[in-house]
């Protein structure tokens, strides 16, 4: 049953496979009369696109988005926004050797068994190429949220063993000034070296992304099941390669005592600490929403791996194609897009909580 | 806007506040002709109820569930199952001092600001008492799943700094033989001591729960957004006090290389390792689904805390009421219930993926 | 799969069978801080309850609703409102002869084949008793809408061949002053005679209800599929025994020319005619929303009917139990309740169409 | 809030305005491994397209659909099917005079007031051009249903005062052999004359479509709110210009007695009459599902009409553009498409009602 939709009021549905003609989506529930800057959407897509630097996949794709509806003279009309992004530069031949084999830690086996049929070219529907559509919707969500003052800070805070220890609100400039999107320049330089080293060995490496959402008004998030942290967690866990999600203190809270973990409330309603990560009882409390997303290393290696074919026979899979040694730098705009979609959706849901 | 519903086909809606007459819910999408054992539901509720041991809240509640519909001579009819659980032994007077104050790291402030009105008695709708309804639905889900062979193993694997390092499939007996629901007997004894020590200080402590879902057929989970891990994560993150969720290798994957993380596929379709945690591309691969859920320490302390009142004035909140020094033991059936609801829902969704 | 929920933001889920202990429901998405008058809900239920007059079923049920949650000192808190209505005065023995037979034009056969099991007592889940829950939700919806100025006029405009030709906005007093809820006194008297005659013959008779929704602001209804008329139509067609629905000119439009059907717009945005029935392009245009709902005659007759049993053998079904010769008078509050639920839901949906 | 989605499991979302570059949609929940014949989809679109005969709009559009995803070597993969249809031959200049005026009985005023902005070119999102997307989804639904034996008969049974009195299962050939899609040849010839006469006067005329769904298995439709007739009614009422919907006996049931209306059940589970229209208690009973859909006359006239402009000033609107004197012939494939979508959706929902 259907699972390609996300959101309750501001709703994204996506379609497309990595080696089809286009990928695309429809955004429903777009508030009307909002000016949309197409170039800003493209900027976000450019942060995600392959081939952007020496530490990403060498595949070249322009990832140019076309908005097909829902706009009139540059403004949203309230009608759904349909959009497409052309697939370019696919080399389906790179994948023909995978028609009958299942790659380790990929979705080849599970798609084939689930559906009884599989588009094996470039991962088909399971390819992370789909996330470009999320970036489009997220960029539009951010533009809609502009006047609310809500902003998003998202950066790489870990690659392999290299990690930033302290949570901080960095500027976009600080995040974007190196290829890793890690605002600690020194660490970023080490990360770059690590990625290049890993790449040279045909291997890959995982990492983490830290997100901070600022200026969220008190009151977003819907108890009981649709808590802000629960929807945000689902949003992040739906991104390819994500293995973990934390809000605020996260797993570190498990070894803490209540007397150290509780956030004392100040008279201006702020809290002196923010272990809650900006969410209490599933509802934003006005403090920055802080969350962390853990990614596994990319499953496609440029070295030989053992696996099996459709007949259960052992085979050796050779690393082919053009892949990322580390997805973290390209994942930053995806994580931020999902955060924006979640926040806008809750913003609109909260509006429907009152008759006035 | 509404947020008290969970699930797509097997769907739970809950209602009720901790100090109302009853709490309850409606389960929709119940497959017909399944025998339901009421005593098994009650057994699950008993694992969650307060007052079950010296390390839980001394509140006494029988938590007796009444099924009000959807059954005929002990079997499901396909109609919705409505149910209620009486609230007993509330002492609303315990809470009257909280009418005008906001407790730290509680939902008092956020509910009040979101809705402009607040049921302050015992946390009202934000109370973890609501989770009893989830246990009812989960117990029914497990009974419906019985013939599929799918089973659930859920245990406490961390309290404060004390943790089990290795993942293992323990039997219910091993888990239930101590008050902590931690299958490592020696560790459990230390955990019990820790909880009693924390309790004596009026403090609280956090912890983790490990879940394993066995014998899940290949093919459950709906790409793109409704990945099995994404829905499972949302389910867990919607539980009170949860701060983190991991599937399979979780955050440890972030510091790993692809060559160590990839799960090699054997000719029987099993994998030699299970870093994927039983899910690839959002779809179950037939291996055990392994996940971890991190809880913060209970926010209600039995000692004085600083906070503010409605007028922004500083106040001292005294620890009153009857609370848990550590929710982990009582959270085990809640986590397992949510897992069962998610798996049954995906099982039924998968049935709708084919015309035959 | 689940079908006992209605609404998108203001959402009703119901449960219960006619011969169970209670029926009930949960209302989600209730705006907070609205005063709820319990006696007004009861008044609406009294218009629906059996035994209210000589032309309805002689069954006596108090149909007393209990609100179980979501209220604090008489005001909505934004939390779900759970409620129950006790089933009284059932005589399940009246139905034991139906255990193995299928009544003509009832849901006996279809439920049994769909679910493989059937609660045959009083129609079980298929009983129109479920509609009492709709009346509760509708009464709450009307109270929430009070300050918007939106009002509902609903009356019987046809029973058998007797019908009111002209559409008019009658007062509640005019509608309630006779047993038939038909505001044309003379016609109502004939209708009463017809119903009593039909009753004396053990037969039943159909009819129509006319609804008018006044003071609806321009802009409610969501294109494309969730047009106001489409949701209103679904709401009405989901009521037991309904066979037809019309908006505005309805089927009479089929034999009209555009030049006679078009509603000319006046400079105050009103229209000189209202063939549109207050809806254009699925969106309210500020004119009264006018609709008609057609009911078939009650299927339960107090005379012998031929049918078959579970084995396909011909049987004669005797008319037993206590039934309505004509449901129209009791259906008025049900139709109005569904209209109120639909309008409130669209009102809240429209609020979510803007960021401001 | 969003309203451009239809369906629960087999789900269609559409986008696009009549004068944009393309219109299109995404179909989610497509069962996998089904062969799709593209030319059959095109055949259905051709029945809907303008310019197909002298009694339809002279606009010429090829309405060629492009399927963009979800297929592998001609078979569905279970992934969403994205599709587009190019808009050709728009003459936006035809509409520039409407920028500041509201056409009578059109959605101009309601869209402008709802959203505060309006795409006035060709009706924008409110144009019936959107229904081409429904035809695509319906054609795919019919192909998926092929092996179930379920078939659809849909024809014009009334134009203006000319109507077929008796319900009958006509063959596609009988329906398609004249321009009116009315299987009664003699009546069709009169209808054609009527339409040409109306056209010559710059006027338009309404009509009705009769639908019959054959070989539906017992058990489709979900009580309580998602009754088969309720969803089918919503589906039809969401089509532009529809004013009424009837299932089975429809409004005629209102003047009938129970003893004449009840459908006696035969020993083979068929019924001797079919006043129920194939649905009892909201669930299909195995008899043909019969329904009728009433359309108003097209609102765009080729003659002068009075209306107002944005400033509330009276204006005269001249009939311009290229429009249909009667939409009924072109509406047949739209009605049938919606019926197919509803039935397939219920078919898949019913599969999820059982664990086996």
Locate the chain D residue with the closest alpha carbon to A348. Answer: D1
**Which residues does C contribute to its contact with A (CB < 8 Å)?**
9, 29, 31-34, 78-79, 144-145, 147-148, 223, 347-349, 351-355
C16, C69, C79 member nearest B82 (Cβ): C16
Mark yes or no for CB contact D244/C247 under 8 Å. Answer: yes
CA distance B94 to chain A (A): 20
> Does residue D89 have a pLDDT over 80?
no
Report which of residues A75 and C50 the model is more confident about: A75
For residues C42-51, b (16+ Cβ closer than 10 Å) or e, as one string? bebbebbbbe
Alpha-carbon span C94 to C155, nearest angstrom: 32
CA distance C176 to chain B (A): 34
A–C CB contacts, 8 A cutoff, strictly below: 46
Locate the chain C residue with the closest alpha carbon to A223. Answer: C79
Mark yes or no for CB contact C244/D244 under 8 Å. Answer: yes
> How is residue A321 written in tokens?
């194609």
Mark yes or no for CB contact B355/D347 under 8 Å. Answer: yes
Report pLDDT for D40.
98
Mark yes or no for CB contact C16/B69 under 8 Å. Answer: yes
Contact between residue C136 and residue C36 where contact means Cβ atoms under 8 Å apart: no
Percent of chain C predicted with pLDDT > 70? 98
Contact between residue D126 and residue C279 where contact means Cβ atoms under 8 Å apart: no
Locate the chain B residue with the closest alpha carbon to A130. Answer: B224
Task: Tell me the pLDDT band of D94, cut-offs 50, 70 and 90.
Answer: low
Locate the chain B residue with the closest alpha carbon to D146. Answer: B355
CA distance A73 to chain B (A): 32
Kindly report the average pLDDT of chain A as a whole number: 94
Mark yes or no for CB contact B264/A307 under 8 Å. Answer: yes
* Chain B: touching chains (3 or more CB pairs < 8 Å): A, C, D
Report which of residues B43 and A90 the model is more confident about: B43
Alpha-carbon span A349 to C355, nearest angstrom: 10
Residues of A in contact with D348 (CB under 8 A): 1
Largest CA distance in chain C: 68
B31, B354, B355 member nearest D354 (Cβ): B31
What is the pLDDT averaged over residues A112-141? 94
Contact between residue D131 and residue D334 where contact means Cβ atoms under 8 Å apart: yes
Alpha-carbon span C183 to C209, nearest angstrom: 11
Alpha-carbon span D287 to B91, nearest angstrom: 59
Q: Mind listing the pLDDT tens digit for each residue in A93-104?
A: 666 777 889 999
Name C171's Cβ contacts closer than 8 Å, sequence gap at least 6. none
Alpha carbon distance, N-terminus to C-terminus of chain D: 37
B15 three-state secondary structure: strand
A–D CB contacts, 8 A cutoff, strictly below: 146
Residues of D in contact with A23 (CB under 8 A): 69
Alpha-carbon span D81 to B149, nearest angstrom: 34
Mark yes or no for CB contact A254/B295 under 8 Å. Answer: yes
Alpha-carbon span B228 to B219, nearest angstrom: 10
Report pLDDT for D111.
96
What is the pLDDT averaged over residues A232-247? 98
Report pLDDT for B92.
62
Locate the chain C residue with the closest alpha carbon to B73. Answer: C119
Q: Mind listing the pLDDT tens digit for each residue in D176-232?
A: 999 999 999 999 999 999 999 999 999 999 999 999 999 999 999 999 999 999 999
Report pLDDT for C94.
65
Contact between residue C87 and residue C57 where contact means Cβ atoms under 8 Å apart: no
Residues of B in contact with C5 (CB under 8 A): 5, 11, 13, 28
Alpha-carbon span B331 to B341, nearest angstrom: 15
CA distance C269 to chain B (A): 32
**Chain A contact probe: residue of D3, D9, D10, D13 with most A CBs at under 10 A:** D13
> How is residue D299 written in tokens?
């609102």
What is the pLDDT averaged over residues A61-69? 93
User: Which residue is associated with the tokens 């040279």?
Assistant: A200
* HEC letters along chain D: CCCCEECCCCEEEEECCCCCCEEEEEEECCCCCCECCHHHHHHHHHHHCCCCCCCCCCCCCCCCEEECCCEECCEECCCCEEEEEECCCCCHHHHHHHCCEECCCCCHHHHHHHHCCCCCHHHHHHCHHHHHHHHHHHHHHHHHHHHHCCEEEEEEEEECCEECCCCCCCCHHHHHCCCCCCCCHHHHHHHHHHHHHHHHCCCCECEEEEEEEECCCCCCCECCCECHHHHHHHHHHCCCCEEEEEECCHHHHHHCEHHHHCCCECCCCCECCCCCCCEECCEECCCCEEEEEEECCCCCCCCCEEEEECCCCEEEECCCCCCCCCCHHHHHHHHHHHHHHHHHHHHHHHHCCCCC
A218 secondary structure, DSSP code:
T
Residues of D in contact with A5 (CB under 8 A): 5, 11, 13, 28
Dihedral angle over CA of C87, C88, C92, C94, nearest 10: -130
C245, C261, C284 member nearest D296 (Cβ): C261
CA distance D60 to chain C (A): 23
Alpha-carbon span C231 to C242, nearest angstrom: 15
Residues of D in contact with A77 (CB under 8 A): 115, 117-119, 124-125
Mark yes or no for CB contact D79/A23 under 8 Å. Answer: no
By CB neighbour count within 10 A (0-12 exposed, 13-18 middle, 19+ buried), where does D173 fall? exposed
Task: Tell me the pLDDT band of A51, cut-offs 50, 70 and 90.
Answer: confident
Report pLDDT for C322.
74
Residues of A in contact with D346 (CB under 8 A): none
CA distance A255 to chain D (A): 41
Query: What structural domains does chain D harbor?
Result: 5-351 (3.60.150.10)
Largest CA distance in chain B: 68
Percent of chain A predicted with pLDDT > 70? 98
CA distance B67 to chain A (A): 22
Mark yes or no for CB contact C69/B5 under 8 Å. Answer: no
A–B CB contacts, 8 A cutoff, strictly below: 360
Q: Mind listing the pLDDT tens digit for each residue in A330-340?
A: 999 999 999 99
Residues of B in contact with C12 (CB under 8 A): none
Return phi, psi of residue A184, to 5°: -90, 105
> Does residue B90 have a pLDDT over 80?
no
Mark yes or no for CB contact D68/A114 under 8 Å. Answer: no
Say what the ipTM of the complex is.
0.97
Contact between residue B212 and residue B288 where contact means Cβ atoms under 8 Å apart: yes
Q: State how far Cα A71 lies from the chain centre.
A: 26
* HEC letters along B177-195: CCCCCCCCHHHHHHHHHHH
What is the pLDDT averaged over residues C222-245? 98
Alpha carbon distance, N-terminus to C-terminus of chain B: 37
> Does residue A91 have a pLDDT over 70?
no
H or E, element range at C345: helix C328-351
List the beta strands (DSSP E) in chain B: 5-6, 11-15, 22-28, 65-67, 71-72, 75-76, 81-86, 101-102, 151-159, 162-163, 207-214, 242-247, 279-280, 283-284, 289-295, 305-309, 314-317
Mark yes or no for CB contact B15/C82 under 8 Å. Answer: yes
> Does residue C93 have a pLDDT over 80?
no
* Chain C: touching chains (3 or more CB pairs < 8 Å): A, B, D
Q: Mind listing the pLDDT tens digit for each residue in A4-28?
A: 999 999 999 999 999 899 999 999 9
Alpha carbon distance, N-terminus to C-terminus of chain C: 37
By CB neighbour count within 10 A (0-12 exposed, 13-18 middle, 19+ buried), where does B245 fall? buried
For residues D181-205, b (16+ Cβ closer than 10 Å) or e, as one string? bbbbeebbebbbebbeebbeebbbb
Task: Tell me the pLDDT band of C351, cut-offs 50, 70 and 90.
Answer: very high
Mark yes or no for CB contact C348/A352 under 8 Å. Answer: yes
How many CB atoms sit inside 10 A of residue A86's CB?
A: 16
Mark yes or no for CB contact D28/A22 under 8 Å. Answer: no
Residues of B in contact with C81 (CB under 8 A): 15
Alpha-carbon span C128 to A290, nearest angstrom: 50
D29, D32, D355 member nearest B144 (Cβ): D355
> Does residue D83 have a pLDDT over 70?
yes
pTM comes to 0.98
Task: Tell me the pLDDT band of B272, cut-offs 50, 70 and 90.
Answer: very high
Locate the chain D residue with the closest alpha carbon to A126. Answer: D79
Contact between residue A336 and residue A170 where contact means Cβ atoms under 8 Å apart: no
CA-to-CA separations, C60 to C50, C91, C239, in angstroms, rounded = 6, 11, 22
Report which of residues C51 and C223 the model is more confident about: C223
Mark yes or no for CB contact B355/D349 under 8 Å. Answer: no
Locate the chain C residue with the closest alpha carbon to A350. Answer: C352
Residues of B in contact with C11 (CB under 8 A): 2, 5
Alpha-carbon span D127 to D108, nearest angstrom: 10
CA-wise closest residue to B132 among B293, B339, B342, B330: B330
C1, C78, C81 member nearest B15 (Cβ): C81
> Does residue D95 have a pLDDT over 90?
no
Contact between residue C9 and residue D231 where contact means Cβ atoms under 8 Å apart: no
Locate the chain B residue with the closest alpha carbon to C71. Answer: B119
């Amino acid at each position: 049953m259907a699972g390609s939709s996300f959101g309750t009021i501001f709703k994204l549905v996506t379609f497309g496979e990595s080696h089809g003609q286009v990928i695309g989506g429809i955004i429903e529930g777009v508030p009307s009369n909002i000016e949309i800057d197409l170039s800003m959407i493209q900027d976000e897509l450019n942060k995600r696109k392959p081939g952007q630097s020496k530490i990403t996949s060498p595949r070249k794709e322009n990832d140019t988005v076309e908005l097909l509806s829902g706009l009139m003279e540059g403004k949203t009309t309230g009608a759904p926004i349909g959009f497409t992004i052309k697939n370019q530069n696919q080399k389906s031949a790179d994948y023909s050797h995978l028609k009958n084999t299942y790659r380790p830690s990929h979705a080849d086996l599970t798609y084939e068994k689930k559906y009884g049929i599989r588009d094996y070219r470039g991962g088909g529907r399971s390819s992370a190429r789909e996330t470009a559509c999320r970036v489009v919707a997220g960029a539009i969500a951010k533009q809609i949220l502009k006047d609310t003052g809500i902003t998003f800070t998202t950066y790489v805070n870990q690659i392999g063993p290299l990690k930033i220890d302290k949570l901080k609100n960095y500027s976009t400039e600080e995040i974007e000034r190196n290829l890793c999107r890690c605002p600690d320049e020194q660490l970023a330089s080490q990360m770059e070296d690590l990625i290049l080293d890993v790449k040279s060995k045909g291997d890959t490496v995982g990492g983490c992304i830290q997100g901070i959402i600022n200026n969220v008004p008190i009151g977003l998030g819907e108890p009981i099941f649709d808590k802000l942290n629960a929807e945000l967690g689902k949003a992040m866990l739906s991104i390819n390669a994500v293995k973990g999600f934390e809000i605020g203190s996260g797993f570190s809270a498990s070894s803490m005592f209540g007397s150290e973990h509780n956030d004392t409330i100040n008279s201006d309603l702020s809290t002196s600490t923010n272990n809650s990560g900006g969410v209490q009882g599933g509802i934003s409390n006005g403090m920055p929403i802080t969350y962390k997303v853990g990614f596994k290393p990319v499953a496609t290696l440029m070295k030989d791996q053992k696996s099996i074919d459709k007949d259960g026979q052992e085979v050796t899979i050779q690393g082919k194609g053009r892949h990322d040694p580390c997805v973290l730098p390209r994942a930053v705009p995806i994580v931020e897009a999902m955060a924006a979609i979640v926040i806008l959706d809750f913003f609109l849901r909260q509006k429907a909580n009152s008759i006035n």
